[in-house]
Every structure is written in C-alpha cells, then in structure tokens.
Amino acid sequence: MDIRSKLTALCEAFNSHDLDSIMEFFAEDCVLEMPRGTKPWGSRFEGKRKVRDGLSTRFEGLPDVHYGDAEHFVDAMANTGISKWMLTGTTREGKTIEVRGCDFYSFRAGEVVRKDSYWKIVEDPWSA
C-alpha cells in the first residue's frame, strides 16, 4: 500500500474511532505530538502503548470527533505524508468544535514512526 492510500485508510480509521485499526499503522517505536500541551510541541507520547493512550484522549474529549474534507499530500522520496482536514466534534460539556488542522506523518518500512498534529487557533473575535 502506498503512503497516500495509507493516509486515506488512516483517516477512515480515525473517523470510525477504531483504536485497534489506527494502531495497526504505527511502528512500535512511534511518536505522537498532539497540538495541545504545556510544551512548544504540544503533548508528546513515545512508544506504541503511550501513543494509543494519547490518541484515546481525542475520542474521550470529543466523542463524536470527525475529520472531514481530508486532503493527503505525499513526498515518497522522504517517506513523508501530510493530511489536511476539518476537525468537528462536540466536547463532553456540549461545546461544538470546528477547526482546520493537519498532521505531518513520517514513515519507515510502511509504518508511521511520527505523527505531528497542528490545529488553527480559533478565537472569538468579540472576546477581545
């Protein structure tokens, strides 16, 4: 399976909220960098077990999360792919989220070794 096909299938797995399917794409020594956190890189999870735990927080915090309008870009020579999407969902507190974001993926031997996620910062123009 080529990288573009993997990115498409991975997005489908995320939209199915199927952690087992998602984790099949990841290498044992993978790294996940989530967009939110106390460090400049957000929150970092290293190793397949910790990455799974980190990804599970997305489904816990946004139970109906969906990645729509997905576009995938590939640099096969660099074993890199980018997925751009519109994330929508509702928090457990009932707040609706809609944000444009992207994931930078690095692959080795067909497996994801790094997923680095970015979100646009959505501000309320009337709160300033």
**Distance of alpha carbon 95 from the chain centroid:** 20
Asked if 61 and 34 touch (Cβ cutoff 8 Å), the reply is no
In the predicted model, is pLDDT for residue 127 greater than 60? Answer: no
Residue 123: pLDDT band (50, 70, 90) is confident
User: Which of 46, 22, 25 has the alpha carbon at shortest distance from 34?
Assistant: 46
Global pTM value:
0.90
Tell me, what amino acid is at 31?
V
Domains identified in the chain and CATH numbers: 3-119 (3.10.450.50)
Alpha helices in the chain (DSSP H): 3-16, 19-23, 48-61
Token reading at 46:
């290293």
